[in-house]
Amino acid sequence: MNLILIGFMGSGKTTVGKILSKQLNWKFVDTDEIIEQKVKMPIKKIFFLYGEYFFRRLERHILQNIDIKEPFILSTGGGMPCFKDNIDIMKKKGIVIYLKAPKSRLFKIDKKNRPLLKKAKILINKRKYCYQKADYIIENYKIDSCIKQLKQLVR
């Protein structure tokens, strides 16, 4: 069983994924980190130089080619599940969990390193439909309770 974490930027996917992977002794994979290593530049610069479509194609390529033999937790980019049929690919690779954070928390995140945050309110409404296709939705108000719920799901 693998867990694939989706949700808007700032919803806690990476934080929750790293903590939970340590507690379960599972591999943790972050698609943004893979892309930054592969392209050798931060996400913000990729968006600026090549645009969002190029970035989404990179995400998709990584998603399609993830082939990990041990249980893993995958933290995805906020828009990944809404690009083409990525949500279907995710569901073939694991259980898709939507970390639904309150809007008040989402708008407090680091605006400097989030290229699409200026359009956040529009994006949240646009992506809501994709996110709700997840296998499970966790109201992510506190990291500890989110991790507890995910552990129960795994058992």
Helices 52-65 and 43-50, packing angle to 10 deg:
120
Which residues are known binding-site members for substrate? 32, 56, 78, 127
> Which amino acids are annotated as binding site for Mg(2+), given as ranges?
14
Nearest to 138 by CA among 33, 32, 26, 17: 17
Known binding-site positions for ATP: 10-15, 114
Q: Which residues are annotated as a binding site?
A: 10-15, 32, 56, 78, 114, 127
3-state DSSP assignment of residue 131: helix
